[in-house]
Structure 1
Amino acid sequence: MRTKVFFVLILIFGYSEYGFAQNAPPVITVEGNQEFCGNAPMNIVTSVSITDADAGDTTLENVFIQISEGYTINQDLLVLNGIYPNITSSWLVQEGKLTLEGPASFTEFIDAISNVTFQTTQTNFTQDKSFSINLGDANYLPSTGHYYLYVSSDGITWTAARDAAENLDYFGLQGYLATLTSEEESTFAGEQSPGTGWIGASDVGVESTWRWETGPEAGTVFWMGTANGQPVNGEYSFWNNGEPNNFGNEDYAHITDPSIGNIGSWNDLPNAGDPAGPGNPYYPRGFFVEFGGMPGDPVVNLSASSIIITPKMTFDDTIVVCNEGEVSVNINANTDTVLWYETPSSTTLLNDGFTFSEFITTTTTYWVLPVFDGCVGGPRTPITVTVPDVPDANNISITQCDDSTQDGITSFNIDNAFELITGGIINNRIINYFEDVNLNNAINGSDYTNSSNPQIIYAQVIDILNGCANIAEVTLEVIVSSNGSSALIETCDDLVEDGFVFFDLSEANNQVLSGAPQNATVSYYETYDDASLELNGLPNAYFNTIQNEQTIYARINNGEACYRISEVLLRVKPLPNVNTIEEVYYCLNDFPETITLSGGIIDGIPNNYYYNWSTGETTMAIEINEIGSYSVVVTEPDGCANERTINVIASNVATIDNVEVEDVSANNSITILVSGEGEYDYSITSVNGPYQSSNTFTDVVPGIYTVYVRDIKNNCGVATENVSVIGYAKFFTPNNDGYNDTWKLMGISEQFQPNSKVFIFDRFGKLLYTLNSPIDAWDGTFKGNPLPASDYWFSATLEDGRTFKNHFTLKR
């Protein structure tokens, strides 16, 4: 692969200026740091020199002139002026580069370069214009002193591009995949890249740790993480939006295609990039090579640079003079002066300097031109001083009810009169309030207590769009009058029964308006202060905030003026005291017997309550014998009602479906399997227990048992069944002391396994005794003679067909 790429690059770079021939490169020097005068075309240099140490080298193939910094696409332009028989020019707008094509002599190129001019339609400059004049194909960036070249090579991998770049030199300068460590370099690279181009960054060593792998910066980590990561030690990076994202193991960086995101920004791709396809912007189109900065690089002066300093200025473009007044406009500029005109084309100079002041009565636009010494022309920039009208501010009076002290001093909410003061304008207006006409002693307009009756305060109305203000007088007057009669609203509690319900406040209207003027209006508030200030009015559907009883306040207005403030008592009436939800059990095995369901009054059985059952009955109690849900609405004589629900749940004595016995084992067990509607516990001891919730008993001693299953929900009864646990003693002691004198199988009875047989042997296999019935037992003798203490063996065959063998010990 490297051989193929190298062959392609030889075709591209096979010219002498790339260092494949051993002649010395030409040297160019220029002068031309100039100040820009207006928008007239301006030579980019004031002098040019091109020399070559090889006496025979006096011609060049081409010269490249580029706006390397500060380029504004589609506005800036370089033009070759004059006629040159051996030189033609072409302008590449994407890169901001003018190419002068030869071959021509040094003298002709010097003359041509001297007659290249810069022109622009840009009027508001933020950067100076830097120009690089290059005698080779590579582009020169003055801020780094390095040369750059985009190499087209469709489908090339990152590793092949890295090797190809390192096999290139530019007049002895070592090539490498570019390391873009500044905004200037990224912008410069983006302007020169016609498609996806590899650069020298990778995270193949450690995932999400991005470092420069090439050039003087090789090994420098500049980014940690994916798109939400961060730079390392302040190093520069220019990832595109949402990059890097390691989508599909992407470990290598490239400059994005011009159609993707920001010009010159970066993305991550796999080593081979994306596959070829129509218009695929992630298919590699080449790589970006940088020359310069490597150890041992020679000094190469193939490029020179010049600069045109552009006039730049800043100013306040939001100057406002309310109504009329003196205005002073200040400009900061890098020029020697600023010229002020009345129109874009006027020749009459209003002012010369960085500040201009005058008295104006209407909105005025000044046209300003920042100029260096010796300059008089250029585009003028408008600065507009706006003179808006002051906002309306109407004098008004506010009348307020006195508070409980009846002393003519109370609280006012002046903000309620906002629209009256502003003439109905709400948007873009604010009001500040003050106690004196000189706007001293600011006050709170939403809660202000007057100091005299009446009293004048001052409202400053401000238009927030332009800051202009006007002042109005607001007269505050307190009406001294006694409060009206109290009102009462009573409402039954709801089913939550917590003392909080919705009240319909309009039910108090007739009470609080009694004796008021005919057209009086009423509104309700939680506190007296709120009523006085008309703050936080309550809706008609009001949910009380104090449990059971709460006092609120009704404000009665006669027109805009307060007439009086009255108390309104809200009272929550309790519901009948019943158990709202209850569960009872009915034993299905008792059917058709009935049980009694009660209306459930907790504090007695008053005769004046009303009952309405879901069954249609209206008595305090009913008799039922069916499972289900029964409800009853209990109503007091005053209308408050509560609902009680009784869920009748089925219960029943258990049905024992099976008893599973694990016996003749080291850990005998009994498991009782039942069915039925009840909730059950279990015992194998006695009908009186003890009982357990588990239906399995372990470590059960062999013998005959009765199992007991008890209904614990409603005591519907106990089911029983006898079971046998078969086993045997590990030893017996036939000494006639009444304990363990004989040995036999346990759990055998006339009911359980009565036809079982047991054969007893000595250790030599001699049959000693046969047990043929449940009551038979061996006393440790053979033909009437006691046998010695020893281990003896047995073989058992149960009636159910099971057989087992084992041994036991006879102890003397």
Structure 2
Amino acid sequence: MLHLLANIFLVFHFFMPLPGGAVAAVPQSVNGEMRTLSFIGTHADDAPVVTIAADDMYPCDGTAVNFTASVENGGVNVYQWLVNGRAVGGSSPTFSLQNANPKIAAEDEVQCVVTNLQNGLVGSSNKIMGIHTREYHIPTIELYFITNTSSTGTKAFCAGTEVTIGTALHLNYQDATLNYTLQWHVNGVDVPNRNNAFVTRDLKNGDEITCTFHITAKCVGVATAESNTLKVEILPNEAPSVTITPESDVCIGPPITFTASLTGTPGVVNYQWRVNGNPAGSNSAQFSSTNLKNGDVLSCGITNTNGCGISTAVSNEVTIDGAPSESNSVSITSSKPDNIIEENELITFTAHPQYAQNLSYQWTVNGNSAGTNSATFSSATLTLGDKVACTVTTADKCVLPRMAESNVITVVMLVPVVIPNTFTPNADGVNDTWKINALLAYPDCVINIYNRYGSMVYDAKSYTGGWDGTYKGTALPAGTYYYIIKPTKKGPKYSGNVTIIR
């Protein structure tokens, strides 16, 4: 009897109280044997009801998400966490899911299965998915014109127009804790505006608008982005000013030209010139006339049309006060009849200008400067075929032209007539023409050239520099041609052949 009581005492001595009125037994040694004692509880026939919750559905990159399981109708519980159906973690009411390598994806599914060891019943929790890992994205901001156009860059506005500039912000975050601010700048100077749109009537021509975007967010701390730059062109509502000036000296007689110059920002401009208050000229920025007289008053009015409206302006007045124009020309002569000299013979050339005051002279021989600033030029080194000319220039007003070119005198020498029998008209600069410079001494000479069929291919009255081997502008083929040259009407003639080599 005592033995039985001892056994009963031992059984109840190892009972453990549990929540809800249940007791559980643990394995213990009874009379030298390991036994598991029975469970007694108020919910012995109910399965666990399990609910899980996550501490963050939008974790930062690399931050773990913690889950907690709450159980009703439980006893001694065993916890099994599942991620996408795969067993993970230990038997604990909490579970930490790491968010790196790999990161948690929105389609990942987390669940907890609880087994009540008291009655062997199992309860499955709700499933949690849709966790979005935030990755850091650099924020951006773009400014654009809302007034008149949505384009970026440089835009024109009328003075006083209200200009509205909008912002396109790119955040790439889903976070209720996200905060951002905007700081607008005009020409780099902060302005008291932190709104998403910038509205003003105070911009000046050339102003540049920018904006700084500050963002504070859970996963990024503080980030800053700078916008693009918008530039404004402000069109004045008034017409540009206009000034008229002559292009050169005002001289009575030749055409006098005036030009209207605009200052400001013109649009479409119409011009109306006036002489003594009467309309004159055409709708042009230039006015030219040969009929202006001293005392005439010239002006120009403009009508300017742009997107800001129509405006008008009138130029300064110019009273014509010009000098009569004089003509400038020059001819030269030589000291030798027919410009014929002997070898090393001195010859003098004289310039005869039409306008003889305040002149400068420039002599040339074969296009190269020669002589001095004088009305005469002398030389004993000229030879057959040299070409002499003179240019006279004046700085005096109303002399036209201010630079005049003379006639050209070709120096002639009486030398034997030597006729070449070949030339090579291939444009290499060497022997390209059939030259007989001795003929320069015979201004009335006649030159005829024929092909082998007797057809004339060249006919010249007076020698002018040689034959280039063409007929009516077309190059003749290589071959032999035949000439007849008459230096004078009554003197002897020369005949023979010349070969073109190509």
TM over 0.5: no
For normalisation by structure 2, the TM-score amounts to 0.32
For normalisation by structure 1, the TM-score amounts to 0.22
- Larger relative strand fraction: 2
